[in-house]
């Protein structure tokens, strides 16, 4: 693996729909209900969201690698755990991408509200301490809560705010399917890693629940995403088009229920990310019509 491809792989591209989706929906909703929309602010919000997602992926790679919890794992490339990059280099990559998010976020704050600087600081702290502190909350089963809040509610409502400089309950409504599917991406990751995490004392929510309940939890997140997407008809009747994606989601849910594990979960992770992006795109189009 050459130098460029290892860093791309380490950024975990399959998780990036979680960063794109809330910005896509927040911007589309802004277009539908606001009289003035700043698309430059929407673009800056996308840079912040993508940078934070990539940064947290590098940060997790670094923290898990130095703790020794990433050895002999199934799934995406672990730069530190596999020896493809030094811990210092991966930590530096995390800090650089956090820096990109901070710069873009500061520009957004000067264009909208300086309160966003506080939101940005909290977001970066949450991203780093997921696995990077002496008592990482990701090791205690709170990762899904953080993902729902930051890559669901904060990202969607935040994009709507910076685009329109206003708030709306509609942004909160559309943040729920985005957050639920972001949680689903993390949940399937944790389900895949459950045996190894349990062995090294990493008590993710999947470890705390156990295999069967973790599978039921994943499937419930998919159902919540579809149900709340349908509630989008309160804003646009075209939101009903998200039903077209139900067969793809049901296929993933069936595989999870039937006991897919280990390497079998890797393509399902990619499919979950695609469902999130497709559902978000469908909702965005519904809002634009």
Whether 3 is in a domain gets the answer: no
Which pLDDT band holds residue 97 (cuts at 50, 70, 90)?
very high
The closest alpha carbon to 23, from 182, 151, 172, belongs to 151
Is residue 104 in some structural domain?
A: yes
Q: Is 254 exposed, middle or buried (0-12, 13-18, 19+ CB in 10 A)?
A: exposed
User: Is residue 4 one of the residues assigned to a domain?
Assistant: no
Question: Residue 236: pLDDT above 60?
Answer: yes
In a domain? residue 129:
yes
Task: Give the whole-angstrom CA distance, residue 287 versus residue 238.
Answer: 8
Poorest-pLDDT segment among 21-25, 93-97, 195-199, 275-279: 195-199
Nearest-angstrom CA–CA distance, 99 and 219: 35
> Distance between CA 20 and CA 134 in Å, rounded?
30
Instruction: Specify whether the CB–CB gap between 12 and 52 falls below 8 A.
Output: no
Whether 109 and 116 have beta carbons less than 8 Å apart is answered as yes
List of residues 6+ apart from 131 with CB closer than 8 A: 59, 60, 63, 64, 67, 138, 139
Report phi then psi at 228, rounded to 5.
-75, -25
What's the pLDDT score for residue 17? 87
Domain with 247, as residue range(s), is 15-288
Rounded distance, CA 25 to CA 232, Å? 11
- Cβ(118)–Cβ(108) under 8 Å? no
The fraction of the chain above a pLDDT of 70, given in percent, is 97
Number of domains in the chain: 1
Which residues does 87 contact at the CB level (< 8 Å), separation at least 6? Answer: 62, 65, 66, 80
pLDDT at 72 over 60: no
Structure-token match 């079998």, residue found: 264
pLDDT at 71: 59
Residue 162 lies in a domain: yes
Mean of all residue pLDDT scores within the chain: 92
Q: Is residue 157 a part of any domain in this protein?
A: yes
Residue 50 has a pLDDT of 96
Write out pLDDT tens, residues 177-230: 999 999 999 999 999 989 988 888 889 999 999 999 999 999 999 999 999 999
Entry pTM: 0.91
Residue 256 lies in a domain: yes
pLDDT of residue 1: 62
Residue 153 included in any domain: yes
Q: What is the largest CA-CA distance in the chain?
A: 55
pLDDT level of residue 70 (50, 70, 90 thresholds): low
């Amino acid at each position: 693996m050459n130098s460029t491809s290892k860093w791309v792989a380490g950024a975990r591209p399959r998780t990036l729909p979680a960063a794109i989706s809330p910005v896509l929906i927040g911007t589309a909703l802004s277009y539908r209900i606001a009289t003035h929309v700043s698309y430059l602010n929407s673009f800056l919000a996308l840079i912040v969201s993508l940078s934070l997602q990539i940064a947290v992926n590098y940060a997790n790679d670094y923290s898990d690698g130095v703790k020794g919890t990433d050895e002999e794992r199934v799934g995406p490339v672990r730069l530190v755990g596999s020896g493809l990059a030094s811990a210092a280099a991966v930590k530096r990559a995390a800090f650089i991408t956090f820096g990109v998010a901070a710069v873009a976020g500061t520009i957004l704050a000067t264009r909208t509200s300086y309160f966003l600087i506080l939101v940005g600081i909290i977001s970066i702290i949450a991203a780093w301490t997921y696995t990077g502190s002496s008592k990482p909350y990701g090791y205690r089963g709170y990762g899904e809560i953080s993902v729902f809040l930051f890559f669901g509610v904060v990202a969607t409502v935040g994009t709507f705010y910076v685009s329109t400089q206003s708030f709306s309950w509609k942004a909160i409504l559309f943040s729920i399917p985005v957050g639920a599917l972001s949680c689903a991406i993390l949940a399937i990751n944790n389900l895949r890693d459950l045996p190894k995490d349990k062995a090294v004392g990493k008590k993710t929510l999947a470890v705390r629940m156990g295999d069967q309940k973790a599978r039921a939890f994943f499937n419930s997140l998919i159902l919540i995403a579809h149900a709340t997407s349908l509630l989008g008809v309160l804003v646009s009747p075209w939101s009903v088009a998200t039903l077209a994606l139900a067969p793809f989601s049901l296929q993933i849910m069936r595989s999870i229920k039937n006991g897919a594990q280990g390497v079998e979960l890797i393509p399902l992770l990619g499919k979950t990310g695609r469902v999130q992006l497709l559902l978000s795109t469908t909702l965005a189009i519904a809002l634009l019509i």
